């Protein structure tokens, strides 16, 4: 922060402490002035960077300013200039393309960067070391740790190269969950000195999550690789890779008993993402619309354990519903227990929904978006958000969504720039798909020949040229019936 801004912030803080009313009266002007001056300073910096030909720095600043189209153009200019950090730039470029929904271009950029680093490692003889590393994209956010399930299954099926894999962890969202993966990845480097010692090797001997390198030399995007391996795993009737240890099961039951859960009760995990500050705001949804779904679970004799954090709106108090998100008992261990021991899990396209399938627990994927990326677990059921034209007010056809950037971007702002808005699932749609999952687990779900035709039509979207609907999740039965007009014969 420049000294002048520090001085103004300090003065504002002093005013807030000495005269709160005066501060509140002047706060809007102070904030607006600070934002305006900050923006002006950033524009000046941007002009200087461009004038100096520092295109990479200019691109990063444009990303910070939210001017992603300009950032992509600046990255393209930077990549045309030979430089030592060109491969790292290629990954940043791919990330921006992905955020804009330009999926094919993003995957091509990732693949090119990974391929170039693999070739550089081979030239230097590093590939003879017999080791590869799994860094932050496998060990950081909790949903990324769940991706180890895909990696471990690819390894078990002999689809990855045979080198030893070493986990390298820095900021781990849930250490208790990562620890359970030590059965499959016993070697872990988590200290700063260890990471520093590996810093020169990591870029060249690293398995990336965005694009997977297969043993036969192929490169496949994560969603395509995960879809393929999960289908094969299910066809071969293989068991889940993780099993919660008895001591963790006992610990979890004891903690939830303190909140009122009986020892013999079955429960459903619920996580509805509400993070307005996140750039991937397409994944957010309103918890209030899940009331009918919660009531349906309770009516069938189940309990609901709502996960999240204290910053989320609280649930209405009622019988058999534990608002664990606001409990002082929240912990990494208990988060894992809820995901591992629930009868099934209800969630949105956020990290926690990746955990239950690693223990063999099915999920109901609700308010799912982007449309192209339904989850890759065959036992799941999903209902996506709808996409509506802001110009006409009409809902877009699924084929139309998947044939453009609209179906791939995780940014609401990008959708708005394309003239599209999202429509969340109705309370009735959420209830119906939850009831369907309970019926499936009870062996009572009924699907007519017409239902199977609708499912086949949905799956067929993944087979047409130029379109991809990744994943194996089944479309919600009642949702397919009511929305059959949105996908072609």
| Whole-angstrom distance, CA of residue 441 vs CA of residue 436 | 9
**pLDDT at position 300, please?**
97
**pLDDT at position 12, please?**
54
Q: What is the pLDDT of residues 301-322, one digit of tens each?
A: 999 999 999 989 999 999 999 9
**pLDDT bracket for residue 188 (50, 70, 90):** very high
Average pLDDT rounded to a whole number, residues 370-383: 93
- Higher-confidence residue of 191 and 466: namely 191
Average pLDDT rounded to a whole number, residues 238-245: 97
**pLDDT bracket for residue 465 (50, 70, 90):** very low
CA-CA-CA-CA dihedral for 236, 241, 242, 245, to nearest 10: 90
Beta bridge mates, 474: 381
By DSSP bridging, strand 381-384 and strand 303-306 are unpaired
Using alpha carbons, select from 61, 422, 376, 435 the residue that is nearest to residue 221: 376
Give yes or no for residue 326 having a pLDDT over 80. Answer: yes
Sign of the Cα torsion 62, 68, 71, 73 reads negative
**pLDDT at position 489, please?**
64
Sign of the Cα torsion 430, 365, 258, 316 reads negative
The label of the residue with tokens 């009313």 reads 21
**pLDDT bracket for residue 25 (50, 70, 90):** low
**pLDDT at position 68, please?**
86
Give yes or no for residue 371 having a pLDDT over 50. Answer: yes
**pLDDT bracket for residue 236 (50, 70, 90):** very high
Check: CB of residue 18 under 8 Å from CB of residue 51.
no
**pLDDT at position 41, please?**
82
Give yes or no for residue 279 having a pLDDT over 70. Answer: no
| Whole-angstrom distance, CA of residue 140 vs CA of residue 445 | 38
What is the percentage of the chain residues whose pLDDT exceeds 90? 71
Q: What is the pTM of this model?
A: 0.88
Give yes or no for residue 467 having a pLDDT over 60. Answer: no
- Secondary structure string (H, E, C) spanning the chain: CCHHHHHHHHHHHHHHHHCHHHHHHHHHHHHHHHHHHHHHHHHHHHHHHHHCCCHHHHHHHHHHCCCHHHHHHHHHHHHCCCCCCHHHHHHHHHHHHHHCCCHHHHHHHHHHHHHHHHHHHHHCCHHHHCEEEECHHHHCCHHHHHCHHHHHHHHHCCCCCCCEEEEECCCCCCHHHHHHHHHCCCCEECCHHHHHHCCCCCCCCECCCCEEECCCCCEEEHHHHHHHHHHHHHHCCCCCCCCCCHHHHHHHHHHHHHCCCCCCCCEEEEECCCCCCCCCHHHCCCHHHHHHHHHHHHHCCCEEEECCCCCCCCCCCCCCEECHHHCCCCCHHHHHHHHHHCCEEEECCCHHHHCHHHHCCCEEEEEECCCCECCCCCCCEEEECEEEECCCCCECCHHHHHCCHHHCCCCHHHHHHCCEEEECCCHHHHHHHHHHHHHHHCCCCCCCHHHHHHHHHHHHCCCCCCCCCECCCEECHHHHHHCHHHCCC
| Whole-angstrom distance, CA of residue 233 vs CA of residue 225 | 12
**pLDDT bracket for residue 44 (50, 70, 90):** confident
**pLDDT at position 469, please?**
67
Average pLDDT score over the chain: 89
Average pLDDT rounded to a whole number, residues 83-112: 87
How many residues does this entry show for the chain?
489
**pLDDT bracket for residue 37 (50, 70, 90):** low
Q: Is the peptide bond before 193 cis (omega within 30 degrees of 0)?
A: no
> In sequence order, which residues have a C-beta less than 8 Å from that of residue 410 and are 6 or more positions away?
99, 279, 280, 282, 283, 369, 370
Give yes or no for residue 1 having a pLDDT over 70. Answer: no
């Amino acid at each position: 922060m420049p000294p002048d801004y520090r001085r103004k912030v300090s003065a504002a803080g002093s005013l807030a402490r000495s005269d709160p009313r005066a501060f509140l009266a002047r706060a809007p002007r102070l904030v607006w002035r600070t934002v305006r001056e900050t923006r002006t300073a950033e524009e000046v910096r941007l002009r200087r960077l461009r004038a100096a030909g520092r295109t990479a720095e200019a691109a990063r600043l444009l990303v910070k300013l939210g001017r992603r189209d300009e950032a992509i153009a600046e990255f393209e200019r930077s990549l045309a200039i030979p430089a030592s950090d060109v491969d790292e730039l290629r990954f940043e470029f791919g990330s921006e393309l992905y955020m804009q929904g330009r999926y094919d271009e993003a995957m091509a950029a990732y693949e090119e960067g990974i391929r170039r680093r693999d070739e550089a490692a081979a030239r230097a003889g590093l590939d003879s070391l017999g080791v590869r590393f799994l860094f932050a994209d496998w060990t950081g956010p909790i949903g990324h740790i769940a991706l180890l399930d895909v990696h471990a299954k690819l390894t078990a099926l002999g689809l990855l190269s045979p080198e030893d894999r070493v986990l390298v962890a820095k900021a781990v969202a849930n250490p208790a969950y990562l620890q359970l993966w030590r059965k499959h990845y016993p070697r872990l480097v988590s200290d700063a000195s260890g990471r520093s010692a590996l810093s020169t090797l990591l870029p060249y001997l690293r398995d990336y999550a965005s694009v997977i390198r297969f043993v036969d030399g192929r490169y496949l995007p994560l969603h395509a690789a995960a879809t393929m391996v999960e289908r094969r795993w299910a066809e071969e009737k293989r068991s889940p890779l993780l099993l919660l240890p008895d001591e963790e099961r006992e610990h979890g039951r004891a903690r939830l008993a303190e909140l009122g859960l009986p020892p013999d009760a079955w429960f459903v995990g619920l996580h509805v993402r509400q993070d307005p500050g996140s750039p991937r705001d397409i994944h957010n949804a309103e918890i209030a619309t899940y009331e009918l779904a919660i009531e349906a679970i309770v009516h069938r004799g189940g309990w609901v354990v709502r996960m999240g954090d204290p910053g989320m709106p609280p649930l209405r108090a009622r019988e058999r519903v534990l608002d664990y998100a606001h409990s002082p008992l929240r912990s990494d261990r208990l988060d894992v227990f809820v995901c591992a021991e629930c009868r099934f899990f209800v969630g949105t396209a956020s990290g926690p929904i990746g955990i239950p399938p690693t223990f063999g627990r099915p999920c109901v994927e609700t308010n799912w978006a982007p449309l192209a990326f339904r989850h890759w677990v065959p036992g799941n059921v999903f209902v996506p958000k709808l996409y509506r034209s802001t110009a006409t007010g009409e809902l877009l056809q699924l084929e139309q969504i998947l044939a453009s950037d609209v179906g791939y971007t995780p940014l609401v702002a990008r959708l708005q720039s394309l003239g599209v808005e999202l429509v969340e699932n109705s309370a009735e749609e959420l209830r119906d798909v939850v009831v369907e999952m309970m019926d499936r687990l009870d062996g009572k779900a009924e699907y007519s020949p017409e239902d199977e035709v609708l499912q086949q039509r949905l799956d067929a979207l993944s087979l047409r040229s130029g379109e991809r609907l990744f994943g194996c999740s089944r479309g919600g039965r009642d949702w397919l019936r009511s929305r059959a007009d949105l996908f072609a014969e």
